[in-house]
């Protein structure tokens, strides 16, 4: 079965939208799925993207340590 709708953020304004397929064409609707999406017209601003308090190098190290800890838990479970 093919998917005829899915939720995502609008590429232009960042608002949550619902993409619906009808007759082979895709159209954007507001998140409620009832009204066509009017890009940037919502009274609700797009959620701000979270900013990190870590540098890129710190984030890389945190991810590396998390992967290392995860692998250690897997090895521990195998024993």
Going along the chain, which residue ranges are E strands?
5-9, 16-22, 25-30
Q: Give yes or no for residue 50 having a pLDDT over 60.
A: yes
CB of 16 closer than 8 Å to CB of 7: yes
Per-residue confidence band for 1, with pLDDT thresholds at 50, 70 and 90:
very low
43 or 54, which is more confident: 54
The count of other CB atoms within 10 Å of the CB of residue 58 is 11
Per-residue confidence band for 43, with pLDDT thresholds at 50, 70 and 90:
low
pTM of the complete model: 0.47
Q: Give yes or no for residue 41 having a pLDDT over 70.
A: no
Q: Give yes or no for residue 2 having a pLDDT over 70.
A: no
Query: What is the DSSP secondary-structure string of 26-39?
Result: EEEEETTSSSB--T
Mean per-residue pLDDT, 47-72:
88
């Amino acid at each position: 079965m093919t998917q005829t709708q899915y939720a995502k953020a609008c590429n232009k304004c960042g608002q949550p939208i619902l993409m619906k397929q009808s007759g082979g064409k895709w159209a954007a609707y507001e998140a409620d799925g009832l009204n066509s999406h009017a890009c940037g017209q919502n009274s609700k601003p797009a959620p701000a993207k979270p900013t990190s308090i870590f540098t890129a190098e710190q984030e890389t190290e945190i991810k590396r340590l998390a992967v290392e800890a995860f692998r250690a838990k897997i090895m521990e479970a195998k024993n």
